[in-house]
Structure 1
Amino acid sequence: MKLRVKPVKRFPHSEAISVDSGSPLLPLAVSHRRLVGDGKMSTTQASHSLAFRVMRLCRPTLHVDTPLLVDPSDLLVGEDIFDDPLAASQLPRLLSGPGIKPPEDAADLGYRTRFLLHDATDSMGLSGLLLLPQAFGAIYLGETFCSYISINNSSNFEVRDIIIKAEIQTERQRILLLDTSKSSVESIRAGGRYDFIVEHDVKELGAHTLVCTALYNDGDGERKYLPQFFKFIVANPLSVKTKVRVVKDTTFLEACIENHTKTNLYMDQVEFEPAQNWSATKLKADEHHSEMNSAARETFKPPVLIRSGGGIQNYLYQLKSSSQGPEHVKVEGSNVLGKLQITWRTNLGEPGRLQTQQILGAAITRKEIDLQVAEIPATIIFGRSFSIHINLTNLTERELGPFEVSLSPDDSPEERAVVINGLQKMALPKVEAFGSSDFHLKLVATKLGVQRITGISVFDYRERKTYDPLPDMEIFVDLE
């Protein structure tokens, strides 16, 4: 009888990784709990000589055994003894009495000091032992998934010409991790195995499937195909909340990072990468350190601890526009500020890295002209004419004008404290692209004290539009 073999899709070549079965795995620890059972197969388990076993490579945890230890002083006196200086001064003599002081020799056959706290570090409960993981554990976005895969020959005969493939399938893509098509495994003896390690940088959330396949010749020469599937879920280790505030020409970005994992996270780096035409400065709280300590802290930056189960840490960045000229001279509609680069480590140093999406600021509007006061008299007398020096700048790539300068008709002349002296409208010539024009406007104050100059606007004859008025300014009007 002839066996029809379904052709298998060929993947690009990836060099197989073999592991010596006698080499130590620590400091990496192997979790012997499978991802999802034995996986789903195209045929029954008994019809195959080979079977995959998938184990996750992860670091061990510290074995903590919290002891019940007491300080000798707690057994004899209360906390209020330190309220009395005289009684507190007698405490060392009291504790050094017979039957209280621990023996200095190493042999304590009666174990009478086993509950005493000899050193402050004893209360931490760290025994010095490492604990291998007893479950598969959680996989988080930004980490590196490392898996130890073993293909075992459970039959009584040798299998030959094994082609092994391993790949990760997500909702969006398929990533090849191992392919021995061009250099197949020659043989696996009866009862033997072939081991290899695969790694994958986790960049997507949700369901992932590790697909392991083997194409091999059975003991009777039959060509068989074995697929197995191992599923796991990738969760989000942290959340980033941002707030953007604009104060005059400066933009402030506040980032709040919250830890959603069950372990502490040590932030190695939380840096903001500004977009084009922006510069960023990280703001820190004032800390009073000596110059030597400050230099050491810059060289060896201690990581920032964010505690497990909802711990948070806030960061503040000051952003400034690096483009020349007024802040509004930017690409129209572009409000991208940049993105955050976050790197961290867990308790025993497993690294993680995330990059946020582009952070958006307030929508940027493009100004066509800029109207600014260049000079104003130091003394303004009631009822006397005075002149202010105004600069008009064209911020576009085309010629604008001619213009007409006047007071906006929103307010009645009786309510205004400062009005134009003479002709109520002033004509200005055209202004070339990115050019500027200076002019003087004569005004007169009609009220005493602190007053405001408001409503000076510019009208473009050709465009038939009125631009934003000159920003209000305060003056002091004196009697003489």
Structure 2
Amino acid sequence: MSATQTQGPHSLAFRVMRLCKPSFHVDPPLRIDPFDLLAGEDFSDDPTSASLFRRHVSSADAVDSDLSYRNRFLLDHPTDPIGLSGLLLLPRSFGAIYLGETFCSYISVNNSSNSEVRDVTIKAEIQTERQRILLVDTSKSPVESIRTGGRYDFIVEHDVKELGAHTLVCAASYNDADGERKHLPQFFKFVVANPLSVRTKVRVVKETTFLEACIENHTKANLFMDQVDFEPAKQWSAVRLQNEDHHSTLDPPTSDLGGLIPNPPVIIRSGGGIHNYLYKLNPSAHVYGQSKFQGSDILGKFQITWRTNLGEPGRLQTQQILGAPVSRKEINIRVVEIPSVMHLNRPFTASLNITNQTDRHLGPLEVSLSQDESQMEKAVVINGLQNVMLPRIEAFGSIDFQMNLIASKLGVQKIAGITAFDTREKRIYELVPEMEIFVESD
């Protein structure tokens, strides 16, 4: 890592090396099977001819020593085409540092002078635009001495949580051979990039909110997504929607790792690969009775963890995802129980629950079917008394009640127009959207 140092001669100097895992060494980049060069795709359809030809090629390779160099490119194992030699390649440069990773560095303080230095105090810290994070401080237990040609080594780690320019500041205070106290600061700069981007879309269908998240990989390595969890705000409950596992009906995998990895991680390819996640959000039922709900545009946030090719972990937490402000009705009604099948011209009972979603009491209420159309045109009407009287409902309270209905038409019919009239406030509430029932003959 390149460093910036203050002017003036010093006995000590810092050397910084980033610690990161090696990469796979690929050599050669392409391996071939001579059989594919000399025969077409249809040749292997005849097992006898194919086996004789391969035997001839194998015997020729064994006799002709000139083919020894070419043998480096032959396919002896199914893994040969990817060119992995079994060796690892150490990093040759500082490399890219991404948000959510752990920055790990090996720092060495070298004494390149001809004399010993004593009482060495070392500090290392990370500086960003917003904060300073102390990594190492030996003020309370300074290094007694560093001899000529000697060094003092240590390792620092820092979880990268900010984008942009970072500076690793290494400072040493020491006594030189003349007893003079000197101070050496060195600055090592690097830039933290964003490994991935999360683009979201919010769609509202009736009282259900759908959240789609598109995650794009900006790194030069594949990302193995261990976890992509959406943490909803307290007024929401979230369920991830995904396709059923199409491998469930197939034969179990024959790989040795098949039983060790029950749920393989999602792989997002390097250089712009994407993967989409879909979540279904519903208002939490427990919010009604705890506190007044004003309506909020905060949906929640994502917790994302991943690993690279050699298992280096990364973790990100997004900012709060915003959606359209939620508006709740003052009164809500839901169907508790209704018969599965209704018979023509036979009364049936629908069990309902009405909830006061305000911080004040409502009612008494008068529940009925709206009279915006004639009774003759309605397929489902109230049987008996046309109005159901309910007592006052306290703030955030609820009441169960029943309505006696009767259907006058066969087939799929709708129960529509259930309303509640507040006799105290002289106000009408539209309670229930249309419900479909099936009516059959006796």
1:117 and 2:79 aligned: no
The answer (yes or no) to whether the contact 2:388–2:403 under 8 Å persists in 1 is: no
Pick closer, same or farther for the CA change 1:320–1:89 going to 2, 3 Å: farther
Aligned to 1:306: 268
1:144 and 2:107 aligned: no
1:78 and 2:46 aligned: no
Aligned to 1:31: none
Q: TM-score, normalised by structure 2?
A: 0.79
TM-superposed CA distance for 1:328, in Å, is 12
Identity of aligned residues (%): 56
The answer (yes or no) to whether the contact 1:407–1:456 under 8 Å persists in 2 is: yes
The answer (yes or no) to whether the contact 1:413–1:419 under 8 Å persists in 2 is: no
1:93 and 2:31 aligned: no
Q: Specify every segment of 5 or more residues in structure 2 that has no aligned partner in the other structure, as ranges.
A: none
1:39 and 2:4 aligned: yes
What are the superposed Cα offsets for residues 38-96 of structure 1, whole Å, 9 maximum, x if unpaired?
A: 3142xx1x4322222222111221111235543232343223434xx45x531221332
Note the aligned Cα RMSD (angstroms).
4.3
Pick closer, same or farther for the CA change 1:393–1:50 going to 2, 3 Å: same
TM-superposed CA distance for 1:422, in Å, is 12
The answer (yes or no) to whether the contact 2:366–2:422 under 8 Å persists in 1 is: yes
Aligned to 2:196: 238
What are the superposed Cα offsets for residues 303-341 of structure 1, whole Å, 9 maximum, x if unpaired?
A: 332221112233445566664698999844256554433
Q: Structure 1 residues 112-121 or 203-212, which shifts more?
A: 112-121
> Aligned partners of 1:160, 1:322: CA distance in 2, in Å?
65
SS in 1 for 2:71: coil
Aligned to 1:15: none
Aligned to 1:264: 222
Q: Specify every segment of 5 or more residues in structure 1 that has no aligned partner in the other structure, as ranges.
A: 1-33
Pick closer, same or farther for the CA change 1:133–1:450 going to 2, 3 Å: closer
Aligned to 1:436: 399
The answer (yes or no) to whether the contact 2:369–2:382 under 8 Å persists in 1 is: no
Aligned to 1:399: 361
Pick closer, same or farther for the CA change 1:324–1:380 going to 2, 3 Å: farther
Aligned to 2:186: 228
Aligned to 2:144: 186
> Aligned partners of 2:103, 2:439: CA distance in 1, in Å?
74
Aligned to 1:63: 25
Matches within 5 A, 1:202-217: 202-217=160-175
Pick closer, same or farther for the CA change 1:437–1:265 going to 2, 3 Å: closer
Matches within 5 A, 1:344-423: 344-360=306-322, 363-372=325-334, 378-379=342-343, 391=352, 393-396=354-357, 398-405=360-367, 411=372, 417=378
Pick closer, same or farther for the CA change 1:371–1:349 going to 2, 3 Å: closer
Amino acid at match of 1:267: M
> Aligned partners of 1:224, 1:210: CA distance in 2, in Å?
20
> Aligned partners of 1:110, 1:293: CA distance in 2, in Å?
35
SS in 1 for 2:430: coil
Q: TM-score, normalised by structure 1?
A: 0.74
What are the superposed Cα offsets for residues 12-55 of structure 1, whole Å, 9 maximum, x if unpaired?
A: xxxxxxxxxxxxxxxxxxxxxx2x3x3142xx1x4322222222
Aligned to 1:11: none
> Aligned partners of 1:448, 1:284: CA distance in 2, in Å?
37
> Aligned partners of 1:245, 1:442: CA distance in 2, in Å?
36
The answer (yes or no) to whether the contact 2:122–2:142 under 8 Å persists in 1 is: yes
The answer (yes or no) to whether the contact 1:152–1:193 under 8 Å persists in 2 is: yes
1:102 and 2:61 aligned: yes
Aligned pairs, how many? 432
SS in 1 for 2:61: coil
1:341 and 2:293 aligned: no
TM-superposed CA distance for 1:156, in Å, is 1.9
> Aligned partners of 2:275, 2:440: CA distance in 1, in Å?
54
SS in 2 for 1:270: strand
Matches within 5 A, 1:433-472: 433=394, 434-436=397-399, 438=401, 454-472=416-434
> Aligned partners of 2:57, 2:375: CA distance in 1, in Å?
99
